Amino acid sequence: MQQLIECVPNFSEGNDLNIIKQITDQIESVEGVRLLNVDPGKATNRTVVTFVGHPEAVIEAAYRAIKKAGELIDMSKHKGEHPRMGATDVCPLIPIADISMEKTAKYAQQLAKRVGEELKLPVYLYEAAQPDKERSNLSVIRAGEYEGFFKKIKEPQWKPDFGPTEFDAKRGATVIGARDFLVAYNVNLNTTSTRRANAIAFDVREAGRKVKVKIKDERGEEQEVEKIQPGSLKCVKAIGWYIEEYGIAQISINLTNINVTPMHIAFDEVCKSAASRGMRVTGSELVGLIPLKAMTDAGKYFLGKQKRSTGVSEKELIKIAVKSLGLDELTPFKPEEKIIEYMLQNKNDNKLVSMSLTGFADETASESPAPGGGSVSAYVAALGISLGTMVANLSSHKKGWDDRWEEFSNWAEKGQQYKNELLRLVDEDTKAFNRIMQAMALPKGTDEEKAMRKQAIQEATKYAIEIPFKVMQAAYASMEVIKAMVETGNPNSVTDAGVGALCARTSVIGAFMNVRINASGYDDKNFVNDILSKGKEIENKAIALESEIIKTVNEKIGS
């Protein structure tokens, strides 16, 4: 897997789209970086940019963007609702794939050093990149904001980690660090009162609020002292503000660890606090990007509260999440632009399964050898488990079976997992075939070229054996759901599950044919013998299980 880090710089400009574009052009000028999202806010006068790539490319792109922002943004004229201290206010790096937080922090330090030394800009490290944990919190570093930093930077304890100990009136200062994935999330209220919004923010944020309490001293006399009363949610930062653009107050939330406090829990907690204070939550707003799992988890959470099956499609889970959280109240919510996995998706990865039914049939029937039997076998199994999953969902919602909704919901979720894996393998099988064709097309003019070509063909052939074998495994495994639905599911749909069993068995037999024919061209006979033996065992089990399932179906329909 390629090492990937994400960078989410916040620039102190949210109105001038020309300035924003000049900054993002710098990011896109670096090869190996993909710009995922640009999210300007007028009221905050701040733009959150998200891009991803391999570490060296991300560092270069971030440096160029910080340089350009310093040239174009004049902080002495900046006004906005969001706390800020510089043209590039904050620039976090986030580990995404095959890279540790420790290594990501090293890259953040490398970037900070370069910005400080080459751009002569005061730079502070934060979160994982800051060795001194007393100054690792972003809000503590930024306290006093731009206006207060001319004095603050002269204090010994606030000497920058890199760059001059002089506050730049035009560019300000910047904070660079490494952190876990952070979700910036705003909850909308039916009030215009910043004070009341802040009260809710203090209720829920981990830092809570200062309260005065009475205690007795050694002499037994009562004294009033201040103490911190923590909020109800861990790993949550929040403030209240008024957004003129929308004419409402919001709770601005940073979810610093969505594994501890996910978005849907934060939303519900704000709803509870607002209601206790005579206010209502009208919706919410996602700033920047969010992982797919956070959205599907939210969908499952709200379906679970309704005692509805959570074993629905990914698309349906996202739809439920959007509607339940009111993410489309202020602007349309476009999953393809807001979910990080969708932004990184290569359309060629699911070319076949994105086709219409007619398109897939036409492509299969064309003179092209792919998609062939392997891809069709995977798709047949996907249809089979889809039928089993349908029966699970119907059973979960069946009148009079309310006490069993969770049992069938779990079966439906399992079915969705098999379905998704089999759909992935539809395109993967065709890619495996194409790998062989590409290897066959390699030059063979010299002995060295012949040797390289032979090795490439062997590697591609092995992959072309492994993919249909995975189809066999997934198709056979999916029969556990189908069998359970024939035995315990909605009796009115027993024949649908029965057809699912026929599809699964067909898939196993068809995929095994592909394993066998591809294995004939592979030189490692120990590998071949082992996989053929395993494949035969799966085929026999699938045939026997299908026969058992169909027998049960026939008994239930009385024939």
Name the percent of the chain lying above pLDDT 90. Answer: 84
Q: Distance between the two ends of the chain, CA-based, in angstroms?
A: 53
pLDDT band at 288 (very low <50, low <70, confident <90, very high): confident
Let me know if the fold of 4-178 is the same as that of 351-557. Answer: no
pLDDT band at 291 (very low <50, low <70, confident <90, very high): confident
The 3 state secondary structure assigned to 379-399 is HHHHHHHHHHHHHHHHHHCCC
Amino acid (1-letter code) at residue 4: L
pLDDT band at 209 (very low <50, low <70, confident <90, very high): very high
For the residues 10-25, what does the mean pLDDT come to?
96
Q: Is 82 a catalytic residue?
A: yes
Q: How far apart are CA 519 and CA 137, in angstroms?
A: 57
Catalytically annotated residue among 39, 82, 89, 168: 82
Does pLDDT of 120 surpass 70?
yes
Q: Which CATH entry fits the domain spanning 183-344: 3.30.70.670, 3.30.1150.10, 3.90.245.10, 1.10.3720.10?
A: 3.30.70.670
In angstroms, what CA-CA distances link 457 with 296, 440, 462? 40, 6, 9
Q: How far apart are CA 294 and CA 349, in angstroms?
A: 22
For the residues 80-89, what does the mean pLDDT come to?
90
pLDDT band at 319 (very low <50, low <70, confident <90, very high): very high
For residues 323-340, b (16+ Cβ closer than 10 Å) or e, as one string? ebbbbebbeebebeebbb
Q: Which residues contact 292 (CB under 8 A, 6 or more apart)?
A: 314, 339, 340, 341, 342
pLDDT band at 526 (very low <50, low <70, confident <90, very high): very high
Q: Where are the alpha helices (DSSP H) in 277-328?
A: 292-305, 314-325
Q: What is the pTM of this model?
A: 0.78
Task: Quote the pLDDT of residue 243.
Answer: 92
In the DSSP assignment, the letter for residue 521 is T
Using DSSP, state whether 505 is helix, strand or coil: helix
Q: Which residue has the tokens 């002269």?
A: 154
Does pLDDT of 1 surpass 70?
no
Q: How far apart are CA 359 and CA 532, in angstroms?
A: 33
Does pLDDT of 174 surpass 90?
yes
Catalytically annotated residue among 180, 203, 297, 429: 429
Q: Kindly report the average pLDDT of the chain as a whole number.
A: 94
Q: How far apart are CA 352 and CA 94, in angstroms?
A: 33
For the residues 356-377, what does the mean pLDDT come to?
91
Which range, of 34-48, 187-201, 470-484, 527-541, averages the lowest pLDDT? Answer: 34-48
CA 18 distance to own-chain centroid: 30
Please state the domain extents for the chain. Answer: 4-178, 183-344, 351-557
For the residues 319-335, what does the mean pLDDT come to?
96
Q: How far apart are CA 261 and CA 331, in angstroms?
A: 25
pLDDT band at 186 (very low <50, low <70, confident <90, very high): very high
In angstroms, what CA-CA distances link 526 with 78, 340, 419, 514, 517? 70, 42, 32, 18, 16
Q: Which residues contact 511 (CB under 8 A, 6 or more apart)?
A: 374, 377, 378, 468, 469, 471, 472, 475
Task: Quote the pLDDT of residue 232.
Answer: 96
- The tokens for 181 are 């994935």
pLDDT band at 559 (very low <50, low <70, confident <90, very high): low
CA 362 distance to own-chain centroid: 34
Which secondary structure element, helix H or strand E, spans residue 41, and what is its range? strand 33-41
Task: Quote the pLDDT of residue 441.
Answer: 93
In angstroms, what CA-CA distances link 328 with 4, 251, 517, 525? 30, 16, 51, 57
Q: Which CATH entry fits the domain spanning 4-178: 3.30.110.30, 3.40.440.10, 3.30.990.10, 3.40.50.720?
A: 3.30.990.10
Task: Quote the pLDDT of residue 98.
Answer: 81
322 sits in the region (left: phi over 0; alpha: psi -120 to 50; else beta) called: alpha
Which range, of 13-22, 282-291, 409-418, averages the lowest pLDDT? Answer: 282-291
Fold type of domain 351-557: Four Helix Bundle (Hemerythrin (Met), subunit A) (1.20.120)
